[in-house]
Amino acid sequence: MMKASELLELFSAHWSTAILAAGVESNVFALIEDGHSTAEDLARETGMEPRPVRALLDGLTGIGAIDTDDGVRYRNSEAVARFLIAGRPGYLGGFARIVAGDGDGGMRQWSRLSEAFRSGRPVGPQAITTPDNPFWPELAMALQPVTEEVAAAAWDLLPVKDARKVLDVGGGTGAFALVWLRKSAGMTFTQLDWAPMNALALAQLTKSGLSSRFAVVDGDMHETEWEKQNDVVVLSNVLHHEPPEVNAALLSRARAALAPGGILVVSEFALDDTRRAPAFALRFHAGMILQTARGACYQASEIRGWMERAGFDAVRTAPVPPLSTLVWGRAP
């Protein structure tokens, strides 16, 4: 049975979010990594007064982001050193601006969750489904290290290594292309997404020296024609924005875009059949009420059923802990 103290920890969970975001925004982690390890050093380097610096260090210690042996000198945790130092591969610090802001995905929006549940409608200040919403590029860049982890898992698990032509629908920053093109010299990618997202992806692929095998089609996945005769179609974190009937139609479009024997790969924050896990997907589902008119996190079995009704066979699922689930099937 959950204790009262454990409930208090849940009620105060947003404190940890705010503290971690403040650590990123104040550049404390990078400064500690550079050897400015005392409160006095950090006050001087950040221009903050000693009292708030000491409070920030205590807060960051309390959530495990940094540590100290003597209360004088501080060091970053392994995860912070790896993922929250700007310029390093896998940087996740972009989430600081998202969660601390008052726009889509921010804590101020989440404070209106009860209102969204009562009304059944999004309460975001912006139209999240519009191509020019600045939320999307910021979110996609923040999520890229996570998406690359899923793409690497998909490469290891799925029968895609012999594929030559891949269509990535809603591919964002091109994370799947970045991972797979590095592993296969004979593979090409086409990404269908909104123009601002494709521009991000092109920049990423160009920087990595892979742009010669990467093409983009600017457009809306519901309206723009999909290229045909693909060996693989990827739908990564697309389905949770849409209602079931729209997702069924998208999967039928994917079936038509594949060559015989081609593979559809779906990556989602999917719920298991008990609706008790994964914990992230369960929490993420609450956010769908905040930010979309009809979106949801679906059970993996629901996605599998849509794929089978769209004509796919040998449909399988595999978790990619702790966040994602892969569902894939073959076009006859």
Q: How many CB atoms lie within 10 A of CB 309?
A: 11
pLDDT in tens, 290-332: 888 899 999 999 999 999 999 999 999 999 999 999 999 999 9
Mean pLDDT lowest for which of 2-11, 119-128, 137-146, 182-191? 119-128
The predicted structure's pLDDT at residue 127: 47
pLDDT in tens, 106-115: 888 888 899 9
Task: Check whether 14 has a pLDDT greater than 60.
Answer: yes
The predicted structure's pLDDT at residue 306: 98
Task: Check whether 94 has a pLDDT greater than 90.
Answer: no
The predicted structure's pLDDT at residue 89: 82
DSSP 270-298: -B-TTS---HHHHHHHHHHHHH-SS--PP
pLDDT in tens, 254-265: 999 999 999 999
Q: Report the distance separating Cα 20 and Cα 56, nearest Å.
A: 9
The predicted structure's pLDDT at residue 132: 67
Whole-number mean pLDDT of the chain? 93
Task: Check whether 124 has a pLDDT greater than 80.
Answer: no
The predicted structure's pLDDT at residue 141: 78
The predicted structure's pLDDT at residue 133: 67
Retrieve residue 316's tokens: 């399988």
The predicted structure's pLDDT at residue 121: 87
Domain spanning 13-100: CATH 3.50.50.60? no
Task: Check whether 95 has a pLDDT greater than 90.
Answer: no
Just give the CATH number of 136-277+292-330: 3.40.50.150
Task: Check whether 101 has a pLDDT greater than 90.
Answer: no
Q: For the chain, what are the domain ranges?
A: 13-100, 136-277+292-330
pLDDT in tens, 137-173: 777 777 888 899 999 999 999 999 999 999 999 999 9
Q: How many CB atoms lie within 10 A of CB 128?
A: 20
Task: Check whether 39 has a pLDDT greater than 70.
Answer: yes
Helix (H) or strand (E) holding 307: helix 300-309
Task: Check whether 126 has a pLDDT greater than 60.
Answer: no
Task: Check whether 191 has a pLDDT greater than 70.
Answer: yes
Q: Please tell me the pTM assigned to this model.
A: 0.89
Q: Report the distance separating Cα 39 and Cα 33, nearest Å.
A: 14
Task: Check whether 125 has a pLDDT greater than 60.
Answer: no
Helices (H), the chain: 4-11, 13-25, 28-33, 39-46, 50-62, 78-83, 94-100, 107-110, 113-119, 135-157, 175-183, 195-207, 244-257, 279-291, 300-309
